[in-house]
A and B are shown apart, each in its own frame.
Chain A
Amino acid sequence: AQSVTQLDSQVPVFEEAPVELRCNYSSSVSVYLFWYVQYPNQGLQLLLKYLSGSTLVKGINGFEAEFNKSQTSFHLRKPSVHISDTAEYFCAVILNTGFQKLVFGTGTRLLVSP
Chain B
Amino acid sequence: EAQVTQNPRYLITVTGKKLTVTCSQNMNHEYMSWYRQDPGLGLRQIYYSMNVEVTDKGDVPEGYKVSRKEKRNFPLILESPSPNQTSLYFCASSSRTARSTDTQYFGPGTRLTVL
Interface residues of A (CB under 8 A from B): 6, 9, 32, 36, 41-46, 49, 51, 90, 94, 99-102, 104-107
For window 34-57 of B, CB contacts with A under 8 Å fall at: 35, 40-45, 48, 50
Query: Which residue of B42, B50, B97, B98 contacts A104 across the interface (Cβ within 8 Å)?
Result: B42
User: CB of B107 within 8 A of chain A?
Assistant: yes
Give the tally of cross-chain contacts (CB within 8 A): 53
The reply to whether B42 and A46 form a contact with Cβ atoms under 8 Å apart is no
The reply to whether A101 and B100 form a contact with Cβ atoms under 8 Å apart is yes
Interface residues of B (CB under 8 A from A): 4, 33, 35, 40-45, 48, 50, 58, 90, 92, 97-101, 103-104, 106-109
The reply to whether B106 and A32 form a contact with Cβ atoms under 8 Å apart is no
Q: Which residues of B contact A41 (CB under 8 A)?
A: 108-109
3 closest residue pairs by CB, A with B: A43-B106, A106-B42, A104-B43
Query: Which residue of B42, B50, B100, B104 contacts A107 across the interface (Cβ within 8 Å)?
Result: B42
The reply to whether B97 and A99 form a contact with Cβ atoms under 8 Å apart is yes
The reply to whether A102 and B97 form a contact with Cβ atoms under 8 Å apart is no
With both chains docked as a complex, state the minimum distance between the C-beta of A87 and any C-beta of chain B, in angstroms: 14
The reply to whether A49 and B108 form a contact with Cβ atoms under 8 Å apart is no
The reply to whether A43 and B45 form a contact with Cβ atoms under 8 Å apart is no
- CB-CB nearest in chain A for B99: A100
The reply to whether A101 and B42 form a contact with Cβ atoms under 8 Å apart is no
Query: Which residue of A44, A46, A90, A101 contacts B45 across the interface (Cβ within 8 Å)?
Result: A101
Query: Which residue of B50, B58, B109 contacts A43 across the interface (Cβ within 8 Å)?
Result: B109
Q: Which residues of B contact A94 (CB under 8 A)?
A: 100-101
Besides A49-B101, A94-B101, A104-B42, 20 more A-B contacts (Cβ < 8 Å) are: A6-B42, A32-B101, A36-B106, A41-B108, A43-B106, A43-B108, A43-B109, A45-B106, A46-B103, A46-B104, A90-B42, A90-B43, A99-B97, A100-B99, A100-B101, A102-B100, A102-B104, A104-B44, A105-B42, A107-B42
- CB-CB nearest in chain B for A9: B40
